[in-house]
């Protein structure tokens, strides 16, 4: 399965070979797939599941009202966590010699950091600047994807020097 997916990704590499290494291109393809699934799941959650309506909850330690764009972000995040980890671990950063449990813990740390930045940015763009939520999420995804590449390469899936 891995080889088949890499063959498909590598098929589209030649036009980009002047500007990107194969590893970076594969990361962009994997990240693009993860980001696309995040954007699509956000759109589906916001428009079809939540119908752009806020959620009212009666749980301790949670706000009484969760806005629709934040609830959609939570749903989208849950949907993309494992997809992103599996693609990164088994397609992109296969040289890493860290144990899988350490990788998933570090991936979760980076993912949580991204989620908190995403949360702050979506609140600012939607509630502060009055951007449309789906467009805001697409902009945020691009910014966080660039940051994530370096965190994944040099932290989560780094190659431990022997």
pTM of the model: 0.72
The H helix count followed by the E strand count for the chain is: 5, 2
Report residue 44: phi and psi, to 5°: -65, -45
pLDDT band with cut points at 50, 70 and 90 for residue 14: very high
Average pLDDT for 26-51: 90
Q: Is the pLDDT of residue 160 over 80?
A: no
Average pLDDT for 60-74: 86
How many percent of the chain have pLDDT more than 90? 38
How far is CA 74 from each of CA 46, 69, 79, 89, 102, rounded to the nearest angstrom? 10, 9, 9, 23, 24
Query: What is the pLDDT, as a whole number, of residue 72?
Result: 93
Q: Considering only residues 49 and 38, tell me which one the structure prediction assigns the higher pLDDT.
A: 49
Report residue 25: phi and psi, to 5°: -65, -45
Provide the residue ranges of all domains of the chain, joining segments of one domain with +: 2-8+21-156
* pLDDT 10s digits, 122-147: 999 999 999 998 889 888 888 888 88
Answer for the pair 87, 28: CB distance below 8 angstroms, yes or no. Answer: no
The residues that bridge with 55 in the sheet, in sequence order, are 66
Answer for the pair 119, 69: CB distance below 8 angstroms, yes or no. Answer: no
Query: What is the pLDDT, as a whole number, of residue 162?
Result: 65
* pLDDT 10s digits, 81-105: 888 898 988 888 888 888 889 999 9
**Residue 57 CB neighbours (<10 A):** 11
d(CA 88, CA 93): 6
How far is CA 5 from each of CA 11, 26, 107, 123, rounded to the nearest angstrom? 10, 10, 22, 36
Q: Which three-class secondary structure state does DSSP give residue 66?
A: strand
């Amino acid at each position: 399965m891995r080889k088949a997916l890499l063959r498909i990704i590598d098929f589209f590499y030649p036009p980009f070979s002047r500007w990107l290494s194969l590893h970076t291109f594969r990361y962009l393809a994997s990240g693009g797939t993860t980001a696309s699934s995040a954007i699509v799941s956000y759109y589906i959650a916001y428009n079809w599941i939540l119908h752009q309506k806020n959620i009212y909850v009666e749980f301790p330690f949670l706000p009484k009202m969760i806005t629709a764009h934040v609830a959609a972000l939570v749903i989208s995040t849950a949907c993309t966590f494992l997809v992103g980890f599996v693609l990164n671990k088994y397609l992109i950063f296969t040289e890493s010699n860290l144990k899988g449990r350490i990788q998933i813990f570090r991936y979760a740390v980076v993912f949580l950091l991204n989620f908190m930045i995403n949360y702050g940015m979506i609140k600012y763009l939607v509630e502060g600047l009055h951007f449309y939520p789906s467009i805001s999420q697409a902009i945020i995804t691009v910014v966080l994807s660039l940051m994530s590449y370096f965190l994944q390469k040099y932290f989560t899936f780094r190659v431990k020097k022997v």
